[in-house]
Structure formats: C-alpha cells, structure tokens
Chain A
Amino acid sequence: MDHLLELDGLSVSYRTADGPLPAVRGVDLVVDAGEVVGIAGESGCGKSTLASTVLRLQPKDAVVEGEVLVAGRDVLTMGWGDLRALRWAEASIVFQGALHSLNPVRRIETQIAEPIQLHEPGLSTAEVTARVGELLEQVGIPAARSRVYPHQLSGGQRQRVMIAMALACRPQLIVADEPTTALDVMVQAQILDLISGLVKDLGVGMLIISHDLSVLSDVCDRVAVMYAGRVVECGSAEQVFRAPAHPYAKALAQAFPRVGDPAARYAPAGLAGDPPDPHAPPPGCTFEPRCTLAVDACREAEPPLLDIGGRQSACIRVGAA
C-alpha cells in the first residue's frame, strides 16, 4: 500500500547570485495515516523548505530533485489541475504565524468557507455555513463566533482557526509549520491536545515542523532531526528526546531542561557556534565544527544515515559504538 506521504531523496536548492544554495539535501521520510511525524531543527536547517515542498509551494527560484509522493502520486510532476485538486482536499498546510496568514479584513467564516466553495462548488450556502460551524466546534471555537474578524480572537484562537481551515476539505495529510511557536505554554498545551485529538479521531497523518524538540516529543510518534539540510537522526519521539544518539540531537534535547533536574540548575546547556555557511560547507560531517566529540575521521566524509537499533543516526561514532 502507498504511504500517505513519502519523500524520496528530496533535495532542494535555491538559485542565488553566488551559485546554488542547498537547503534540503537528500531527505527520505514517510508519514502514514494516523501518525504524527515531527521535524526538528534550527533556523536555516531546511525544515520549512521541506514543508513547503510537500504541497509544491516552494519559491520559484528553488530547484527540487527527488520525489514527493502523496498517496503514491508525485506532487512535483503532476499537472496543475491535479495539484489544485490535491491541495486542501488531500493535503493541507497550517502556516507559521496565524496572525499574518489570516486576512485581517475578512470574517473567519468567509476564510474557512473559501476552500470549501472552491473544492465543492455543488454545496449550497447553508451547507457551507453548517460545515464551517462544525469545523469551528471541532477546533474548540463556538460556532456562534464564526462572524468575528481575526483581530477579535486571541493568538491561540487564531491558531485554531488556521487548523479549522486546514481541515476544511477533509484532507488525509496535514502539514503544520511551527503550529505553537509564539504561543503561551498553556495555549500551546491546548493546541497540542487539539492536534493529538484530531489525529486520533480523524485518522489523518500529520507532519509537524518545529524548532522545539520538547513540543515534538509530546505530540509525535516519530521525530527526525535536521541539520544543514539533512536528517541526522530519526527515531521514535521517545528515543530521540530521551536518549538521542547524534551529538546534535543531544544538544537540541538538552536545550530544554527538565524542571527539577539538579544538573540543569544554574547550568543552561548551549551549543557554541553557528550552523555552517551553506555556500561553503565543511568537508566532512557538517556538524563537526561545533561537535565536542569530533575526531579526525569526522573531517573526511559526511557520515551516512545508518540504522542503529530501531533508529537512524548519521554520526561515525554512533555506528562504531
């Protein structure tokens, strides 16, 4: 059976005046129905580029190689008509920054109704209104509030509206780019609860992008950690967060201290240095310049992503141990 989403050797680079700028380099990833998969990484690691490629929303100057299969069909090569039919109805995206993604001068009901009217032109106005009401209730907003404008809602409620829009045409796959960034802890917990509940009730598959590994560990089944355009670690959320193998995944996991952990008291864990310049990547492992465990061999070749005890990791030391 086809996977809901399958990325196969996906590479994306941007054309710039200084030559091609690689953003995503050879990513393989699978999302199945009823599964939540997370992608963690810092700014510039390629995670948002990857998310936009799933619906072929990447900018015009991006050069994409490899395959993006949604329910077995390649999104990158399909015709415009098929692509339009696929967006919203088969796969939808919740963009980062609900405040800027919603139109400030249109009522939320109009904005949620828009994709429904486009994809199901046969529905009557009453049917569309009823569906919008259902969607709002589903994300925890009273249907009676459907006539408000975005500015009348709080940040958390706007994020709920974004999720309602993504669900509007009953897609099987939802991509969420930083769905809880800029939200408070309590509202974040509410949104994560909502997402988990929707995945369970509707059986959809979900790909969540976040810089916060602790958020992903809470809601995801599997997590992939990206660094400099590549997946460097991939495994169950538990494995990646509790017992990360790759030194970068370790640093990312430690950045979020456990309250009550004496080792973190007055000792914030950081990672010195910056990610490599994509125009001039280091010769071997891209993480080597920041890695405290680096040895000479790390500078020779980029380590492949290897299977190690039910997870994958791209570090020569992990393979050896």
Chain B
Amino acid sequence: MTASDGVTPLLESSGLGVRFTTRTGKVAVALDDVDVEVRPGEILALVGESGSGKTTLARTLVGLQRPTSGEVLFDGRPLSYSSKSLRKLRSEVQMVLQDAVGSLNPKQTVYESVAEGIRLHKRVASDPAGRTEAELVAAALSEAGLRPPERLFLRYPHELSGGQMQRVLIAGALALRPRLLVADEPVSSLDASIRGEILALLLGLRESLGLGIIVVTHDLGLAWNIADRIAVMYLGRVVECGSTEEVLESPRHPYTRALLSVVPEIEQLTPVVLTGEVPDPTRIPSGCRFHPRCPAYADGTAGAAGIAEKCRTAPLPVVTAGGDHRVACHLAATPES
C-alpha cells in the first residue's frame, strides 16, 4: 500500500482495531478500523478529547499494544510481535511519554538515563563513526538542545527544570537514531515560555535528522505550530483527516468545528461547547458515533438536510489514510449541506 504519490509511508496502519474485555465481560472498542500513515520526515498530529483513542493508537503504532484486528506496517512490512523484532522496531520508532517528571527515574543521572537505550541496543558496537558511549550520550543531549552536554551528565532529574527534563527524554529517544518519534502531549505539562522551545526542537529534528514525528495532543494550537497533517479522532475512529491547513482552516466535521471553536484564541467562531464527554467505549452509539453529541444533529441542520435518520442508523465509511482531506460525516457527504 503506498500513498498517492508513490512514497512508501514510514509507518501505516490498516483496519487497526483494539478491543478490551472488561471485568464484567463487556467489550470496549478502543480503536475501530483506523487507517493512518506517516511518511519519512512528516509530522502527523493525532487530536481529540480524552477517551478518543489517540493514545491507544499511538501505543499500538509503536508496538506497545497488540492490535486485535488489522495491522501496522513499518517500512511497508507488517509488525511482528516477537521480542526480537520488537526490539529492532524500538530502535527505529521511539516514544516520548507524557509527563517528563514521571518518566525519568529519579535515582538515575541524566547520563545513565540516556545511556540505557544505547546499551540495550548495543549502539556503541554498531556506531559507524566508532564513537564511545559518552560521545553518543553527549551527541544526543546536544541534539536535544542541552549544551554543553557534559555539564548535565551527573545531574539528577530533581535538579532539572521541566523543559530540561523533557529534553532529556527526547535525547534518550534520539540516542538510538530512530526514524520515527512518537510524542504524547509533549508540552502539556510545561510552562508557556518553554512550550515554544520544545516545539521548535521537534521541528528542528525533522529538519536536521529527517525524523517522522507523530504527536498526540488535544492542543490545536500545537498542531497549527508544527504538524503537516492532522487526524481528528473520536471514540476510536478517525473522523477527519487532511493537511493542517485543510482541517483547521476549513474543518468539515462538526466535531472538528466544535473542537476549534473552543480554542480560547479563536474569537471569530461562536464557541460550540459540547455537553458531556466522550461516551463509554463499551456502548458505541449506532450510526454516526458522534450523533448523540453532534451540534448539527441537535440543532436540526441534519434533519433539514433529510439525513437525521442516516445519522442515527447508517454506519459511516472508514476515513482512509492518504493525502487529501477526508471526513466521516453524513452531513458533510450530503451535497449543499
């Protein structure tokens, strides 16, 4: 499967599904038929509310979660879940977790934290330039913007600022020379002034190392700042995807529009505050899964277009991965809506 212009995606999923059986025997559908792709050097943002499945998708894409249906392809080859192939995958796809403070071992120095991956993946033996472990750690720290790196070697996490901790985590990921970085809410716990610095770092890494990046976030401003493409998720499905400009400047799904309208800086849109939260994934609504909260359904727009019945009952096709702007909405699919 290749994208329209013939470039093989670095990572892609097709028909990806993840189901969990709860203690009471109910089945929670965390991911339901998700197709996404990231090409080399591309930044994809997965956006949505808590419970939309964006973190589950990120974890499944990096092999931390096994899909119950569908598959993930890296470099065009399906992931295999043997520990040997997962280890190989992890040196190419690295994840930077949410909450830098909680992700670093408080008893490990910066050097040890970054060197851990280098040792596990025997990077010293495989380094083409024959660098020592200390040189590799230093290189990774400088790439993450911590200069001079030697000054930080013996520091412990509690001696670092929030921004520095986030950079150490990124350095740990970079030390393995990955081709894809998956960052889960990379700046949500950081101060405003540091936020821009970390985002600029991610952009710079794409530029200098050609990294593909998947960023999981609920912050649309962040997506506008750095992402090439956006996939908007709702209740385990991608409901709209396209280039950042397409999705954020001319959103077609009522859910995307609502998300955009509540970003505090956008005053030209009347805020559409959706009631409630993402529903329980053990009880996915029939028809369009968004219809119980959909402002266009509630205010009669869907009814006027003669599709209210469809919204309630007719399932929507899966939004496929790829270049152009796609949306899963009966209303958006109706002419003159």
Q: Complex: how many Å from CA A266 to CA B43?
A: 11
Q: Complex: how many Å from CA A254 to CA B265?
A: 11
Q: Interface 1/0s, chain B 258-297, versus A by CB < 8 A?
A: 1110111110000101110100000000000000000000
CB–CB B191/A211 < 8 A? yes
- Given A214, A217, A252, A264, which contacts B193 in the complex, CB threshold below 8 Å? A252
CB neighbours of A265 from chain B (8 A): 224-225, 244
CB neighbours of A259 from chain B (8 A): 220-221, 224, 248, 260, 263, 265-266
CB–CB B262/A264 < 8 A? no
B196 and chain A: residue at smallest CB distance: A270
Task: Say whether B219 faces chain A, with CB atoms less than 8 Å apart.
Answer: yes
CB–CB A185/B195 < 8 A? no
Contact residues of A between 169 and 203, Cβ < 8 Å to B: 182, 184-190, 193
Q: Interface 1/0s, chain A 206-231, versus B by CB < 8 A?
A: 00000111110110000000000000
CB–CB A184/B273 < 8 A? no
Q: Interface 1/0s, chain B 202-237, versus A by CB < 8 A?
A: 010000000000000011111011100000000000
A259 and chain B: residue at smallest CB distance: B224
CB–CB B264/A214 < 8 A? yes
CB–CB A217/B277 < 8 A? no
Nearest CB of B to A208, in Å = 13
CB neighbours of A213 from chain B (8 A): 192
CB neighbours of A254 from chain B (8 A): 196
- Given A186, A215, A270, which contacts B199 in the complex, CB threshold below 8 Å? A270
Task: Say whether A19 faces chain B, with CB atoms less than 8 Å apart.
Answer: no
CB neighbours of B200 from chain A (8 A): 268, 270
Q: Complex: how many Å from CA A258 to CA B203?
A: 18
CB–CB A257/B224 < 8 A? yes
> Assuming the A-B contacts A43-B191, A154-B277, A259-B224, are A214 and B265 also in contact, with contact meaning beta carbons closer than 8 angstroms in the complex?
yes
Nearest CB of A to B281, in Å = 13
Task: Say whether B161 faces chain A, with CB atoms less than 8 Å apart.
Answer: yes
Nearest CB of B to A39, in Å = 14
Task: Say whether A28 faces chain B, with CB atoms less than 8 Å apart.
Answer: no
- Given B199, B226, B248, B262, which contacts A189 in the complex, CB threshold below 8 Å? B262
CB–CB B193/A257 < 8 A? no
Majority secondary structure of chain B interface residues (helix, strand, loop or mixed):
helix
B49 and chain A: residue at smallest CB distance: A184
Residue of A213, A214, A254, A266 with highest tally of chain B CB at under 10 A:
A266
Residue of B191, B193, B196, B198 with highest tally of chain A CB at under 10 A:
B193
Task: Say whether A255 faces chain B, with CB atoms less than 8 Å apart.
Answer: yes
Nearest CB of A to B119, in Å = 31
CB–CB B192/A268 < 8 A? no
B-side interface residues, number (CB < 8 Å): 41
Q: Complex: how many Å from CA A260 to CA B163?
A: 27
CB–CB A266/B203 < 8 A? yes
- Given A155, A187, A256, A274, which contacts B221 in the complex, CB threshold below 8 Å? A256
CB–CB A155/B226 < 8 A? no
Nearest CB of A to B331, in Å = 20
Nearest CB of B to A18, in Å = 15
Task: Say whether B127 faces chain A, with CB atoms less than 8 Å apart.
Answer: no
A140 and chain B: residue at smallest CB distance: B275
Q: Complex: how many Å from CA A184 to CA B220?
A: 11
Task: Say whether B313 faces chain A, with CB atoms less than 8 Å apart.
Answer: no
> Assuming the A-B contacts A211-B192, A264-B224, are A190 and B273 also in contact, with contact meaning beta carbons closer than 8 angstroms in the complex?
yes
CB–CB B50/A212 < 8 A? no
Q: Complex: how many Å from CA A20 to CA B99?
A: 31
Task: Say whether B149 faces chain A, with CB atoms less than 8 Å apart.
Answer: no
Contact residues of B between 157 and 198, Cβ < 8 Å to A: 161-163, 188, 191-198
CB neighbours of B275 from chain A (8 A): 190
Task: Say whether B324 faces chain A, with CB atoms less than 8 Å apart.
Answer: no
CB–CB B273/A212 < 8 A? no
Task: Say whether A302 faces chain B, with CB atoms less than 8 Å apart.
Answer: no
> Assuming the A-B contacts A43-B162, A154-B277, A184-B218, are A266 and B226 also in contact, with contact meaning beta carbons closer than 8 angstroms in the complex?
yes
CB neighbours of B277 from chain A (8 A): 154, 156, 186-187
Residue of A189, A213, A252 with highest tally of chain B CB at under 10 A:
A189
CB neighbours of B260 from chain A (8 A): 259
CB neighbours of A211 from chain B (8 A): 191-192
Task: Say whether B249 faces chain A, with CB atoms less than 8 Å apart.
Answer: yes
CB–CB A186/B197 < 8 A? no
Nearest CB of A to B268, in Å = 9
Task: Say whether A1 faces chain B, with CB atoms less than 8 Å apart.
Answer: no
B263 and chain A: residue at smallest CB distance: A259
CB neighbours of B195 from chain A (8 A): 255, 268, 270
CB–CB B273/A270 < 8 A? no
CB–CB A184/B50 < 8 A? yes
A267 and chain B: residue at smallest CB distance: B225
- Given A42, A182, A267, which contacts B192 in the complex, CB threshold below 8 Å? A42
27 contacts between A and B (CB under 8 A): A182-B188, A184-B49, A185-B49, A185-B263, A186-B277, A189-B271, A190-B273, A211-B191, A212-B192, A213-B192, A214-B263, A254-B196, A258-B265, A259-B221, A259-B224, A259-B260, A259-B263, A259-B265, A259-B266, A260-B266, A265-B225, A268-B222, A270-B193, A270-B194, A270-B195, A270-B196, A271-B197
Known contacts A182-B188, A268-B195, then 17 further A-B pairs from the complex at CB < 8 Å, ordered by chain A residue = A154-B277, A156-B277, A186-B262, A187-B277, A190-B275, A214-B264, A252-B192, A252-B193, A255-B195, A256-B192, A256-B265, A260-B248, A265-B244, A270-B193, A270-B196, A271-B194, A271-B197
Identify the A interface with B (CB < 8 A): 42-43, 154-156, 182, 184-190, 193, 211-215, 217-218, 251-252, 254-261, 264-272, 274
